[in-house]
A and B are shown apart, each in its own frame.
Chain A
C-alpha cells in the first residue's frame, strides 16, 4: 500500500534501536509493519471457499511480490455448477428491468473500487494508462449490457407470418447454466465483456478466470458478493485450462460453454465434449476487446434459446 512508507512512531523505533543493535539497521530502511498478505479465494454460491483440492499456484507480480491463487479442481466446478443451477430459474424469472438495475448497481460498485482494479492491472503488467483504460471500458461495458436486459427480448423476438390460422410468435429464453473460459490476455475487460451479456440474458455462469491475470477476477468476485447479484448467478474459479477445460465442457448439467481460444487442441476438445449433451459451444478469439464491435446485443443472443408458439385462432 502506498500510505505506509513513513514510520508513525519514531520514538518507539528508537527504543528498539537502543535495545537491539543487530536488527536496528534493517528496520530503519522502511516501516516496521509487516504487510498483511491477502488470501485469494474462489467464489462459489456467493461465498469465498478455498479450492476443495487445497492446492494453489503462485503468480509473480510486477513489483516482485508473489501471490498464491487457488488451483481449482473439477470438484470446485461441480460445486459451482450446482450453485449456478440452483440460482438459474430464479434469476431468469426476475423482470428484465430488475436485472438491469442489478447490473447497473454492479457497475456503480466497480466504479467506486476502480482504483483497486487499476492498481491490480498494473501489478499484472499493464501500464497505468492501459490499466485505467481497461477498467473504465469494463465499467462502461457493464452499463451497456445493463441497458439491454429489458430490451433484447423485444428485438430478438418476433411475430411470424404463417399460412394457417395460427398466431405464431417466437420469444427468447435463457440457455441455462453457462461455463465461461475467459480470455487469458484480458483479465478484466475480457471477462466482463462475456460475463455481462450471459447474465443479462438470464443465464447463470461458472467462470474460469485468466490464469496469468487472475487478480481482477478475484476482486470482481468480491465486488459481486457485495452487489445485489444473487448468490450462484456468477461463480468465479481460478486455475488452469489444461486441467479444467474438459470438465467445463463435458458436464451434463451445463447448457452452454463459452471458450476464448485460438488453440486448435482446446477448440477441438471443447467441441468434441460439448456434443455429449449437445451443449451450445461459442468459441471465439478476440484480439482487441476495446473495439466498439465487441459491445453488441448479439452477445446476449449467443446464449438465448428461441421458443416458438403456435396459437390457434379463429376456431
Chain B
C-alpha cells in the first residue's frame, strides 16, 4: 500500500480564509506531488419552512472521529493506489450560512484517480464520521438533520 499521509482537524466555528489559505499554500513546499484536488463545503441558506436556515450547529465525538478517519483513510489509500495525501478540516459549533464547514484536500503524484478519491472521501465523511448537525432557522426554531 502507498504510504498513508492523512490528518483530520476539528475546528471550533467556521473554517476561515486563513485556515483555507494555509492548507493550500503549504503545498508550495511539496516537490513530490503534482496534483491537488480540493472540496470546500459551505453552509447554505436553504429556504426551509417556517423560515430560512441561518446557521448550522455541528457537534462531534472527537475520539471516534480520529479512529473512523483512520479507517476511512486506510480504505481510500487501499483503493486508490495513486493517492498520497488526505487532509480534512471539519467545523464543530456554530457555522453561519455562507461560511465554510468542511475542507477536504487529496494529493497525488499525478491527477489520475484524484478527483474520484476526493468524491469518495467526501461521501465517506458524510456517511461514517460521527458528526451531527442541527439547523438553526431565522425564526429561532431549530431541527436536527438525521
Say whether A and B bind each other: no
Chain B residues proximal to chain A, CB less than 8 Å: none
